[in-house]
Each structure stands twice: as C-alpha cells, then as structure tokens.
C-alpha cells in the first residue's frame, strides 16, 4: 500500500483559485447546447432543459440521494463513510441494474431536480457533520457541468475533501480532459469485454473501446492509488469489475487488459451480482454466480500478477441492495 503521511490538498482548490475551474465549467456548459458530454453525443439542447436525449436529463441536476455511504471499498468508505451523491438517470440501460429505480425511471425522477447551490450545501454538510472522507459523485457522466458548478459553489463554503468520480466508464475523452486535476479518485466499473454482450445487456454497442480509452486516460491523470496514514485513498485509480454468470462480463479478458495497462492498478473484484429488474427475464442473467465462477475469476488475479485491491465475497450481495423508494437512507443495512 502506497501510504503518504504528508497532508493531501486536492488540486481542484488550485484550479478554483486560478479561475481555471470556472473556464472548464463554461466550456462544458457550452457543449450542452448540442450535448456531446458522453459518447452518445445526442446533440439535444440541454441548456433549455431539453430532456429528449438518451439520459432524459436537462440543465438542472437530478439527484436521488445525498448520504454517507459505508458500503464502498474500505479505502473509500473508511470509518466515516463516503459522501455520496446519487445522480439520477444514466447513459446505459443495464438489464441487471441495482439502481434501476433511479437510473431508468426517468419520469419519476423529475421530482428530484435540484440546483447546484443546494447540492453544494449538502456535500459540505456531509464533510463537516459526518466527517466523510470524500465526495463521491455516482453516475456523473451526463452531469459533469453540474458537478463542476457544485464544486465551485462548495469550495467557498469550505469543501476540502477529495472528489471521487464513480462511473460506468462509458465516458467521453473530451469530457475527461476537462476533469484533469478536478477529480482525485477515479472509480470506473469496467463492465464488459465484448460489445455484443454490452449491446444486449446494457444497450451499448460500442462500450468496450470507449470504456478502455476512458480508463486509460483516468490512469494517466491520477496514477496508482495513494493512501493516507489511515489507509484512506486520497488519489488514484480503482477499477471495479462485476462478475456475471456464464462470464458474460468477459472477466478474464477484462482483467488481462487491466494487467497489460499496469499491474499496479488497484482492482475491486465484485461478486454481488443478483438478478433483478429485466435480468429476471433473461435466462443467462437470471441466477447468481456460482462458487466455481467466483474462484476461476479470482485465480486470474494471481495468474496476471494483480496484487492491489479487494475481493468481495459472494454473500455480500444482500448488504448492497439499495432501495431508493424508502424514506431515509437507501441502503437497507444502515
């Protein structure tokens, strides 16, 4: 573990002081007029709140929940939790999405529209009252300008903790370039190694090339994970990968690709898959993974020399089931 006892200062503070953060925001907002923030490049004018694009999102941020989250990787959640912002809607259509209540129920999510100043107050409150270790933007690909505007509002209020970009990895390189120095920790989920399965399961026929290019750029920006003296991540890349039944995720190939990029990359191998949403009607996905599938995949880590990261046990799936329709915290174990 690469620990550093010196005090870490997020680079977004320097970008804010220099005015560069504002310039990046303006460039991103300009692109919303013919939206090309993610690889979908829908071209709708989101500045006038046109929600006709793939993500069904306009100009205002749509946020389903803002809370401390103890269920992320140990170096992200720590003891105090990760200050998590769950953006609604998504640029994928995963059949097995655990968050489908907020990612694919577009009409119902309109009630969760907010503004960046309100969101800024919420995340600063999590920092100051809950002591969260970071601010964790979940599914941010279609809300990157709103994310930056929230940071610009929050910094004068005292925001000082690292920023986590928690993504499905279907990200635009042009958008990621604007995040260089803004994001401290990239947390992409490398979902597939085969575009045909990505198309059938997540509605995305060009996922693999975009996701791999995005993760390569993320690694260029932040490198391997740096931890503080308490073992909390302050900067770096953590790649998640969810094992699917029948190796539909292409786990072996994805892990091999990660190792080719660098065996120093931290990998979070997840076994929490359970059939929900539309996956219940798709026979290959209508079951949990087997012990043999789990063991075969974790053995690949040793074969490839990937030593940094975490292995999730198969019985962890019950802990991570969120319910965004209940009052209060969306995670049932809290």
Task: Give the per-residue pLDDT at 334.
Answer: 46
Task: Give the per-residue pLDDT at 193.
Answer: 99
**pTM of the model as a whole:** 0.95
206-212 long-range contacts, CB within 8 A, separation 24+ = 206/39, 207/92, 207/170, 210/39, 210/169, 210/170, 210/171, 210/172, 211/168, 211/169, 211/170, 211/171, 212/257
φ/ψ region of 51 (left if φ > 0, alpha if ψ in -120 to 50, else beta) reads alpha
Task: Give the per-residue pLDDT at 285.
Answer: 96
DSSP assignment string, 185-245: EEEEB---S-HHHHHHHHS-TTHHHHHHHHHHHHHHHH-S-EE-TTS-EEEEEEEEEE--G
Query: In the Cβ-directed half-sphere of 29, how many Cα atoms lie within 13 Å?
Result: 16
Task: Give the per-residue pLDDT at 328.
Answer: 63
| Distance, CA of 188 to CA of 256 (rounded, Å) | 16
pLDDT tens string for the chain (334 positions)? Answer: 677 667 899 999 999 999 999 999 999 999 999 999 999 999 999 999 878 899 999 999 999 999 999 999 999 999 999 999 999 999 999 999 887 888 888 888 899 999 999 999 999 999 999 999 999 999 999 999 999 999 999 999 999 999 999 999 999 999 999 999 999 999 999 999 999 999 999 999 999 999 999 999 999 999 999 999 999 999 999 999 999 999 999 999 999 999 999 999 999 999 989 898 888 999 999 999 999 999 999 999 999 999 999 999 877 655 567 766 666 677 655 4
**Strand, helix or coil at 83?**
strand
Task: Give the per-residue pLDDT at 269.
Answer: 98
Binding-site residue ranges? 90, 94, 97
Binding-site residue ranges for [4Fe-4S] cluster? 90, 94, 97
Q: Is 274 exposed, middle or buried (0-12, 13-18, 19+ CB in 10 A)?
A: middle
Fold of 12-320: TIM Barrel (3.20.20)
């Amino acid at each position: 573990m690469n620990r550093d006892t010196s005090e870490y200062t997020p680079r977004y503070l320097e970008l804010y002081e220099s005015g560069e953060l504002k310039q990046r925001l303006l460039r991103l907002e300009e692109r919303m007029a013919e939206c090309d923030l993610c690889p979908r490049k829908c071209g709708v004018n989101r500045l006038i709140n046109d929600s006709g694009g793939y993500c069904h999102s306009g100009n205002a941020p749509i946020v389903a929940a803002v809370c401390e989250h103890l269920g992320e990787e140990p170096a992200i959640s720590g003891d105090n939790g990760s200050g998590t912002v769950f953006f609604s809607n998504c640029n994928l259509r995963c059949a097995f999405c655990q968050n489908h209540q907020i990612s694919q129920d577009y009409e119902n999510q309109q009630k969760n529209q907010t503004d960046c100043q309100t969101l800024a107050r919420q995340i600063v409150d999590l920092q100051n009252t809950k002591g969260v270790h970071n601010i964790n933007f979940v599914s941010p690909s279609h809300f990157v300008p709103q994310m930056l505007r929230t940071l610009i509002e929050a910094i004068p209020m005292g925001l000082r903790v690292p920023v986590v970009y928690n993504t499905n990895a279907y990200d635009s390189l042009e958008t990621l370039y604007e995040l260089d120095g803004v994001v401290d920790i990239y947390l992409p989920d490398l979902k597939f190694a085969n575009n045909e399965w990505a198309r059938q399961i997540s509605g995305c026929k060009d996922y693999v090339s975009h996701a791999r290019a995005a993760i390569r750029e993320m690694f260029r920006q932040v490198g391997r994970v740096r931890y503080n003296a308490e073992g909390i991540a302050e900067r770096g890349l953590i790649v998640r990968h969810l094992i699917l039944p029948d190796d539909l995720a292409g786990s072996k190939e994805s892990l091999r690709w990660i190792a080719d990029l660098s065996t120093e990359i931290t990998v979070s191998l997840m076994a929490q898959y359970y059939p929900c949403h539309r996956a219940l009607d798709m026979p290959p996905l209508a079951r949990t993974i087997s012990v043999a599938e789990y063991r075969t995949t974790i053995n690949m880590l040793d074969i490839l020399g990937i030593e940094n990261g975490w292995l999730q046990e198969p019985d962890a799936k019950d802990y991570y089931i969120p319910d965004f329709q209940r009052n209060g915290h969306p995670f049932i174990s809290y």
